[in-house]
Chain A
Amino acid sequence: MVDLSIIDNQYWELIESYPELRLDYLGGENRISGKLIFSANFQYQRIDDEYIIEVIIPDTYPDSLPTVREKGNKISRDFHKYRDDSLCLGASLAIKLKFAKQPTLLGFIENCVIPYLYSYSYKCTYGFLPFGELSHGWLGVLEYYKDLFDINDERTILRLLKTLAQDKYKAHSRCPCGSRKRMRDCHGNLFKKLIPLQPTMNYFEDYQAILEGLKKNK
């Protein structure tokens, strides 16, 4: 059972900057809803916009992350959303990484939700997405890992993922990316951040999904 006082405290911090969001507790769920009015800047492009959103905070928060839906019918149905209509703010690992840097409701809204909404507003205004987008499904996950590790070769990505899935981090051994450097001088730091972030099972599932996907493509 989530500690309600954590949510309350984080909520008070959130509404200092975003006062039009309300917190209520309905049917066993903590829910934040209302108008998110934001101003955001990305590479000197300033966008001010507002969206009506609903954020469901799960019982296992902050170990699992909130789901967000847009209630104002502003975002088109086929824009990055899950089947249950919740917004797909990024690859799930990406969101976890972002949230880990500022693990509060304010952090979630500012670092995960607002960039997504900014991206949509930007596209509506200028016709293209400012930070690009990932492909759907396993391919998007692969693209994300390529970005994350800064590696282009798929087999290397799979090797790295296998190491993550097996939780085999040894600072002095050679980095699985093939650079011949020791882990601690190569992708070691990244591994240290990634391993506690989600169960190794999740990395294994990503590994499987990418492997299957690549096989099908051949």
Chain B
Amino acid sequence: MVRIQRTDIGYLLDEIAQSLDISNSLFEDAEKKYRAVGSWLGEGNSPLATFSPEIYPQGSFLLGTVIKPISDKDEYDIDLVFRLVVSKDQITPKKLKHLVGDRLKANDVYLRILDEEGRRCWTLKYADNAQFHMDILPAIPDEYFSGILQKQGVPSNFAGTSIDVTDNTKANYSMISMDWPRCNPKGFAAWFQSRMLIQYNELRKHIFGEAYKAEIEKVPNYRIKTPLQRCVQLLKRHRDIVFENDQENRPASILITTLAAYAYENEADLVDAMINIIDRMPSFITERNGVSWVPNPVDPSENFADRWADHPGREPNFKNWLRKVKSDFNRILTCYDSDSAGKILVPIFGERISRSTITKFEEAAQSRSFNSIPTLQKAPPVVNITRPNKPWGF
């Protein structure tokens, strides 16, 4: 039994978040695989090579907020963008989609693991020791929209990476059109990075020294995790456990990630970050004409909460989930020793992760006491300060 102080709570949460990370080897494997796909699609004899192709991850792999699925049998999703430089007046969405699909099918290995054509993506289902799906999103740049965003005040380094994508349920799918669905995963990632930049640089200096440069497009340096990223991981895990049996109405990761990033203020301490993020997140859900809005920070006309309108269960679910996060986190703050911590952490984060984290904590405490001057395992008494002196000085 080891006493838990407030500073230890940050350690426990950090350990839990680390247990949610996917392993380094899995990460490197994913990176190898997606570079291979990019290579096949865009290099050598590929008919697409002349279109300045680029492949890059988007979503949680780019943001550094991937978490393990609840059960070992579930899979990871890696979202990739495969961008060619072609203009909308030269190609229909359908043609773009099939250019990519055909090239994938021209490779026996990919042909075998290619899933049915998706609405926007092609999906490769890797089923070796790493269970993941790779969603490949064909895209072209959208310079026109970049211009509009910049006029709206979005900084150019966030706006300039806008892309247009295809959607085979749209009416103009097979036509030349100026109106493609658009998004900006690189811009979003750059914004996310900007929300935690101070902490990111501090940690990077600490781990690698001044000379290290990390480029945002690489599957990000998984060894650097800021409190913002850890908080997002913990929130997603909390959501996974709460909504284990109601996947349909669960809060969307993009909402959790965006609201957390709006709320984060580069706090260095994980517990402080959690407290402030949980407190402030709800205030970033705004209302426009009676509709709830969570604006996309790099496209203010896009509402990340737009799905709430068609699924009436989702908005109250989200708000109730936020309330539960707050009360669960307050309970976490009351952990005072390792024996009782399990009762608090297990229902929130899951049995295995909580138990192994508590064990690690107890072992670390043991070794600390063995290595130092023999001390009593007792914790200091809590001093009650009454009628204190005011500090004074010359």
A residues in contact (CB < 8 Å) with B: 16-20, 37-42, 46-48, 79-83, 88-91, 94-95, 98, 110, 112, 114-116, 118-119, 125, 129, 131-137, 140-141, 143-144, 147
Contact = CB atoms under 8 A, between A and B. Distances in A.
B364 interface: no
Contacts of A40: 382-385
Nearest to A37: B380
B235 to A, nearest CB: 23
Give the dominant DSSP class at B's interface.
Answer: loop
A83 B394 contact: yes
A132 B390 contact: yes
A19 B393 contact: no
Interface of B: 5-7, 272, 372-373, 375-376, 378-385, 388-394
B394 A144 contact: no
A48 B390 contact: no
Given A19-B376, A39-B379, A39-B381, A88 B393 contact: yes
B380 A98 contact: no
B7 to A, nearest CB: 6
B385 A89 contact: no
B380 A17 contact: yes
A147 B388 CA distance: 12
Given A38-B383, A39-B382, A115 B393 contact: no
Given A90-B389, A115-B389, A137-B394, A46 B375 contact: no
Contacts of B376: 16, 19
Contacts of A79: 391, 393
A94 B390 CA distance: 9
B6 A46 contact: yes
10 contacts: A16-B376, A40-B382, A40-B385, A46-B6, A89-B389, A94-B390, A116-B391, A118-B385, A136-B392, A147-B390
For B7, B372, B383, the residue with the greatest tally of chain A CB atoms inside 10 Å of its CB is B383
B365 to A, nearest CB: 13
Contacts of B375: 19-20
A112 B391 CA distance: 10
A129 to B, nearest CB: 7
A131 B388 contact: yes
A119 B372 CA distance: 28
Given A19-B375, A20-B375, A48-B7, A88 B382 contact: no
A125 B267 CA distance: 11
A118 B394 CA distance: 21
A144 B384 CA distance: 22
B227 to A, nearest CB: 15
A65 to B, nearest CB: 12
A197 to B, nearest CB: 14
Contacts of B385: 40-42, 114-115, 118
Given A40-B382, A40-B383, A88 B391 contact: yes
Contacts of B7: 48
Contact of A82 (B272, B380, B384, B394): B394
